[in-house]
């Protein structure tokens, strides 16, 4: 049933595609980190239209499937003259989707800052920008780094969805190998084991980081 | 155009809702079994439950679905598309759900267990009458979120050609080539289906925090 010879033959090809999976993960995570922070700040804005728009965006993106959002970016934007490569469309889609989750993470960090910090900043005549840059964000981000790490792992696991918009990452490679040989077992099992090993080991690292942050 | 489109969306929506419903029920069972399994006093049960949870949380639903649909037949287990979809969704959500069950049960204060022991309750009575009712209320918002994740996950079955909402939309798009309208409507339908859940979760959370500081 399980063919080791075949497994060893296809393994290098799947491992080679891991590069695309990993670079897509990190670029999308960067998008999510930046957009997530912007969404959090926009939601806290006193300018109602801005905070309502940001809130609506978060609600909408969080309750619709990532796959459909990717289709939207990949198939609808070209209608308006904006053709994106599968990689770019994929990282934008994945990044925007998880930016809504990360905005909750930022919010949690910011809301845990005692009001005294805001008052002190005001008493010391800090400008709003300096208050955020020097007082609030440096204190609210480090405690939530483990949570962000967990989202990085989640995004890594979700990258196979990008194969639906024809990005050739490890899942797409496995699908192509399978359709050539009519044997899906080995290819898909390798992909599963790779994800399991990489995400489980990185989640152990996040847990260690969490312990270390709590000790301080 | 809309007269042709909407009926087929309705057919797809029925499949999506059925998938969500069946897999949610199965996932709830799995979540309780695995959640209690991880708290069991028998080492073997704990290891079994932990292995299940880590495997299904360590890979994504996408990989699990494809594995069940394309790789299992090589072991002689050939599932129809719908069954494969329900199974993958339920196994995945069940693993996440077991964490909800486990964490809420251990968050019930220790004094409750001690009081139940002092009142001479059997372990079964203790769980059923004291621990679970308190844990269950805490589980509700998290389970609500899990159902939304499940609903979103059902879109993936379109990739194994089960004719859910997303599949219907992609087929329509390849025949009439109106991606803007089709995918906008599709996103809105998913949003509308999830609305009762997001509202429900907010209502429960609000009720739970009432009277607390």
Q: Which pLDDT value is given to residue A182?
A: 85
Residue A211's pLDDT band (cuts 50, 70, 90):
confident
Q: Which pLDDT value is given to residue B8?
A: 86
Q: Which pLDDT value is given to residue B137?
A: 87
Residue A179 sits in a domain whose CATH number is 1.10.3720.10
Query: How many domains would you assign to chain B?
Result: 1
pLDDT digit string (tens) for B148-164? 999 999 999 999 999 99
User: DSSP labels for B146-166?
Assistant: HHHHHHHHGGGGGGGT--SHH
For residue A60, the chain B residues in CB contact (below 8 A) are 187, 191
pLDDT digit string (tens) for B47-95? 999 999 999 999 999 999 999 999 998 888 889 999 999 999 999 999 9
The structure tokens listed for A2 are: 């399980």
B213 pLDDT above the threshold of 60: no
Q: How far is A90 from chain B (nearest CA, A)?
A: 15
Closest to B88 (Cα-Cα) out of B50, B47, B56: B56
Closest to A2 (Cα-Cα) out of A193, A192, A187: A187
Residue A39's pLDDT band (cuts 50, 70, 90):
very high
> Taking all residues of chain B, what is their mean pLDDT, rounded to a whole number?
93
Contact B93, B149 (CB under 8 A): yes
Query: How many domains would you assign to chain A?
Result: 1
pLDDT digit string (tens) for A114-153? 999 999 999 999 999 999 999 999 999 998 999 999 999 9
Residue B203 sits in a domain whose CATH number is 1.10.3720.10
In chain A, whose CA is at the least distance from the CA of B188? A64
For residue A178, the chain B residues in CB contact (below 8 A) are 70
Phi–psi pair at A136, nearest 5 degrees: -75, -55
Q: What's the pTM? A: 0.92
A213 pLDDT above the threshold of 90: no
Residue B211's pLDDT band (cuts 50, 70, 90):
low
Structural domain range at position A28: 4-215
The structure tokens listed for B70 are: 């394309």
Judged by a CB distance cut-off of 8 A, whether residue B183 touches chain A is: yes
ipTM score for this prediction: 0.91
Residue A215's pLDDT band (cuts 50, 70, 90):
low
Structural domain range at position B114: 2-209
Tokens 């005294």, residue?
A116
Residue predicted with more confidence, A9 or B213 = A9
Judged by a CB distance cut-off of 8 A, whether residue B95 touches chain A is: no
> Taking all residues of chain A, what is their mean pLDDT, rounded to a whole number?
94
pLDDT digit string (tens) for B20-57? 999 999 999 999 999 999 999 999 999 999 999 999 99
């Amino acid at each position: 049933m399980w063919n080791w010879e075949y497994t060893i033959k296809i393994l290098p090809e799947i491992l080679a595609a891991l590069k695309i999976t990993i670079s897509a993960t990190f670029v999308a995570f960067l998008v999510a980190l930046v957009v997530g922070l912007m969404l959090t700040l926009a939601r806290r804005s006193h300018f109602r239209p801005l905070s309502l728009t940001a809130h609506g965006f978060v609600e909408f993106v969080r309750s619709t499937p990532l796959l459909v959002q990717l289709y939207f970016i990949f198939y609808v934007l070209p209608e308006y003259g904006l053709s994106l490569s599968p990689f770019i469309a994929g990282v934008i889609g994945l990044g925007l989707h998880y930016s809504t989750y990360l905005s909750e993470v930022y919010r949690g960090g910011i809301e845990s800052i005692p009001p005294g910090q805001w008052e002190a900043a005001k008493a010391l005549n800090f400008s709003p920008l300096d208050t955020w840059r020097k007082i609030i964000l440096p204190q609210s981000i480090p405690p939530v780094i483990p949570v962000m790490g967990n989202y990085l792992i989640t995004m890594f696991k979700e990258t196979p969805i990008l194969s639906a918009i024809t990005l050739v990452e490890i899942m797409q490679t496995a699908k192509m190998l399978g359709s050539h040989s009519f044997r899906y077992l080995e290819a898909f099992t390798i992909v599963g084991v790779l994800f399991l090993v990489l995400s489980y080991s990185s989640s152990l690292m996040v847990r260690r980081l969490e312990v270390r942050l709590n000790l301080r | 155009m809309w007269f042709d489109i909407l009926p087929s969306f309705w057919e797809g929506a029925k499949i999506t809702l059925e998938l969500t419903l069946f897999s949610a029920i199965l996932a709830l069972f799995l979540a309780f079994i695995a959640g209690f399994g991880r708290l069991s006093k028998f080492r073997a049960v704990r290891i079994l439950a932990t292995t299940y949870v880590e495997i299904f949380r360590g890979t994504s639903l996408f990989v699990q679905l494809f594995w069940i649909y394309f790789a299992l037949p090589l072991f002689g287990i050939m599932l129809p598309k719908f069954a494969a979809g329900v199974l993958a969704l339920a196994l995945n959500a069940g693993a996440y759900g077991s964490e909800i069950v486990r964490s809420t049960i251990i968050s019930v204060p220790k004094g409750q267990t001690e009081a139940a022991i002092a009142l001479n309750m059997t372990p079964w009575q203790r769980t059923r009458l004291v621990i679970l009712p308190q844990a269950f209320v805490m589980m509700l918002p998290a389970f609500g979120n899990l159902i939304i994740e499940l609903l979103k996950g059902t879109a993936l079955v379109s990739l194994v050609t089960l004719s859910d909402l997303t599949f219907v939309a992609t087929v329509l798009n390849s025949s009439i080539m109106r991606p803007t309208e089709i995918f906008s409507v599709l996103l809105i339908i998913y949003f509308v289906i999830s609305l009762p859940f997001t509202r429900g979760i907010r209502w429960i959370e609000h009720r739970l925090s009432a009277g607390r500081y």
